[in-house]
């Protein structure tokens, strides 16, 4: 999509969030299994939803006018882990 839409001055990017507590997953993360899972994350914590704001504001602003086709992880190194 990024390649196809670039000529129309449309940027296509993605924010790839790591683990954030939401209404859908809060029961799990509040359970013993969920708390144990959190301890195994690189940051040893879940992200706060406001931690997505910076990259969102960047991509929504002209500061990212030359960024297209990017997938930006906001996951405190979770995606870099070797499993």
Which of 5, 20, 21 lies closest to 74, judged by CA? 20
Give average pLDDT by consecutive 10-residue segment, the chain, 83 residues: 97 97 97 97 96 97 97 93 65
Return the pLDDT at 61: 97
Residue with tokens 């939401």: 22
Distance CA 19, CA 53 (A): 15
Domain ranges of the chain: 2-80
The CATH class given to the 2-80 domain equals alpha beta
Q: Give this prediction's pTM.
A: 0.84
DSSP conformation class of 49: G
Which of 11, 21, 4 lies closest to 72, judged by CA? 11
Residue with tokens 């296509």: 12
Return the pLDDT at 79: 87
Return the pLDDT at 83: 57
Q: Please provide the size of the chain in residues.
A: 83
């Amino acid at each position: 999509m990024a390649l196809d839409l670039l000529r129309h001055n449309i940027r296509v990017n993605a924010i790839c969030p790591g683990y954030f507590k939401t209404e859908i997953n809060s029961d799990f993360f509040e359970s013993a299994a969920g708390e144990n899972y959190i301890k195994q994350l690189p940051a040893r914590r879940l992200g706060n939803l406001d931690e997505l704001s910076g990259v969102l504001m960047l991509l929504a602003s002209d500061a990212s006018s030359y960024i297209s086709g990017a997938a930006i992880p906001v996951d405190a190194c979770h995606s870099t882990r070797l499993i």
